[in-house]
Amino acid sequence: MASKLEALNRWVDEVARLTQPDRIHWCDGSEAEYQALVELMLDTGDLIELNPSTHPNCYLHRSNPSDVARVEHLTFVCTQEADDAGPNNHWMAPDEAHRKIDALFAGCMKGRTLYVIPYCMGPIDSPIARCGVEITDSPYVVANMRIMTRMGVKALERIERDGTFVRGLHSTGDLDPAKRFIMHFPEERAIKSIGSGYGGNALLGKKCHALRIASHQARQEGWLAEHMLILGIENPQGETHYVAAAFPSACGKTNLAMLIPPKAYPGWKIWTIGDDICWMQPGPDGRLWAINPEAGFFGVAPGTSAKTNPNALAMLDRDAIFTNVAETADNQPWWEGLPDGKPAKDWQGRDYDPANGPAAHPNSRFTVSARQCASWSPRAEDPQGVPISAIVFGGRRESLVPLVFESRDWTHGVLVGAAMGSETTAAATGAVGVLRRDSMAMKPFCGYNFADYFAHWLSFDKAGAKLPKIFHVNWFRKGADGKFVWPGFGDNMRVLEWVIERCKGTAGANETPIGNLPRAQDLNLAGLDLSPADLELLLTVDRDGWASEYASIGEYLDSFGARTPDALRQEHARTSAALAQAEPAAPKVAVG
């Protein structure tokens, strides 16, 4: 099999000459192909079959212990000019990057099969969708790409129609961390990754294409590629509003995307469009319309349980690939957070010993088709996408940041997103629990200079635009006792309701210097065991604390130099001045 597109055939030939595989396989995305790959990996030990009685067609993959998360310090954006990559990225000149990584690719596929994976990010017929081809020597990558993308014959047909595709070259190499690089060439719409088999580094359709390359492409073409979940909120009257929400990895995106409303919300439904990536494009009506470019979930396993995310847990009992979870004595997958069962083997295949740390790696994952989720929305396959009513930003902040606030307007909302901070998690290598600015949850994923990215966001506010309202949430506020104040999970529905009612103009709020906060009476708190003191903590603005925060935000904006948009600096100055003039407890003026 080969392509009708000569440019694709020529590229595959060039890669084959460089990497010297024993054979070349063009992936068709069929069930027979998938089963053959599974059998191959079972034979090599790359996969372990899990209990077929409890988890039919489920498999466990154990990665190299040095290869368990994204490696941001080895991830480069390679533009001709360093300033175009920006201080938010590690930069390398394209010629140098190609030389460095091609030397590692030389002969790396000897004794292996080169797989050609044509894939489409988004519904095949969607005008918002874009295509790519990943070349890899990893059958594990092929199996995961089949779940995570629209992969195979139909994707190849669209590539041949469009005549264009993102080129992704991947090899596990010898998994030596000293020979591990993930290089992005946004001006060439190309990706090269070697030395890792971990999802975010190896499934090139995901973060590499759908965020780093796509964000650069989106700026050129007038749309947005964002690290956001998409969910639909249907009220008892049958009216559905769609929300896009950005959170850093391992901060509860999947849980929110699959939320089950609490008992206080009879007749309400949550519809899951996606849990990680959102592509938005202005429609003829002036609204932003969004698709989830992915077809599956690559979710964090630890913490996923019947309490935190029953929809996610229910979809993991069949047709799933688990990576770096633990295993029970009867070959069921296990991770911290599950109330039942106990681990016999840890994520490295050793007999479980608590002295070795957690049984499942903190960043262990599951890969599963989105269609298996009980809350999956058929609108996820709508070529036109869904209209977005609200954009929500959120991070992991133990103090200062209220439960929820609404931006004053689009420009203020862009500042709120740009200023977003979060305490780090195990989804990336490095220290955990350190506060860092993570604008729009895109710091690891924006394929160009953040200052230009902020300007691109601001550019959507033009005549005729009907833009979503922008909000910020924080589920992770802690009290003096060190415990979370807000119950989170399903009860986040109470915040989402206020968000939607604000979009409709039917809910009240208090105007504060940082934005509009709900009053206690604006939230449905029925059935919640929340003390008045805790509620006040969640809904109060600490003027002095926020003044310090805005000083820090100003330094952060300054770090991007002259490219930082003047409109963002002016908005920052406006909020800083409002904080300086406010009473210590911040004024409570009802609005809306």
Token pair 């604006």 is found at 522
Longest dimension (CA), the chain: 72
70 assigned to a ligand binding site: yes
C-alpha to C-alpha distance for 471 and 483, rounded to whole angstroms: 24
- Of 413, 439, 476, give the one whose Cα is nearest residue 227: 439
- Of 349, 376, 372, 373, give the one whose Cα is nearest residue 360: 349
- Of 385, 422, 382, give the one whose Cα is nearest residue 401: 422
Exposure letters 566-592 (e unless 16+ CB within 10 A, then b): eebeebbeebbebbeebeeebeeeeee
Token pair 């941001």 is found at 72
483 assigned to a ligand binding site: no
251 assigned to a ligand binding site: yes
Give Cβ neighbours of residue 93 (< 8 Å, ≥ 6 apart). Answer: 78, 80, 82
Q: Is 110 exposed, middle or buried (0-12, 13-18, 19+ CB in 10 A)?
A: exposed
83 assigned to a ligand binding site: no
363 assigned to a ligand binding site: yes
C-alpha to C-alpha distance for 386 and 178, rounded to whole angstroms: 44
Q: Which of 58, 208, 251, 446 is catalytic?
A: 251
199 assigned to a ligand binding site: yes
207 assigned to a ligand binding site: yes
Query: How many residues does this entry show for the chain?
Result: 592
Show the 3-state SS of 411-449: HHHHHHHHCCEEECCCCECCCCCCEEECHHHCCCCCCCC
C-alpha to C-alpha distance for 258 and 496, rounded to whole angstroms: 13
How far CA 438 is from CA of 72, 442, 454, in Å, comes to: 13, 6, 13
255 assigned to a ligand binding site: yes
227 assigned to a ligand binding site: yes
130 assigned to a ligand binding site: no
Token pair 């009257």 is found at 237
C-alpha to C-alpha distance for 449 and 219, rounded to whole angstroms: 11
How far CA 340 is from CA of 51, 87, 332, in Å, comes to: 16, 46, 11
Q: Is 120 a catalytic residue?
A: no
396 assigned to a ligand binding site: yes
C-alpha to C-alpha distance for 212 and 199, rounded to whole angstroms: 15
Q: Is 279 exposed, middle or buried (0-12, 13-18, 19+ CB in 10 A)?
A: buried
Give the DSSP letter of residue 267. T
CA 72-106-155 angle, 5° bins: 70
Task: Collapse the DSSP code of 306 into the 3-class scheme (helix H, G, I; strand E, B; otherwise coil) and give the result.
Answer: coil
The token pair at 492 is: 């986040």
252 assigned to a ligand binding site: yes
Q: Is the CB of residue 312 less than 8 Å from the CB of residue 255?
A: yes
254 assigned to a ligand binding site: yes
C-alpha to C-alpha distance for 59 and 55, rounded to whole angstroms: 9
443 assigned to a ligand binding site: no
C-alpha to C-alpha distance for 516 and 591, rounded to whole angstroms: 8
235 assigned to a ligand binding site: no
Q: Which amino acid is at 95?
A: D
- Of 181, 47, 203, give the one whose Cα is nearest residue 117: 203
Residues annotated as binding site for Mn(2+)?
207, 227, 276
Binding-site entries: 70, 198-200, 207, 227, 249-255, 276, 363-365, 396, 489-492
Q: Which residues are annotated as a binding site for GTP?
A: 250-255, 365, 396, 489-492
Q: Point out the annotated binding site for substrate.
A: 70, 198-200, 249, 363-365
Residues carrying an active site annotation: 251
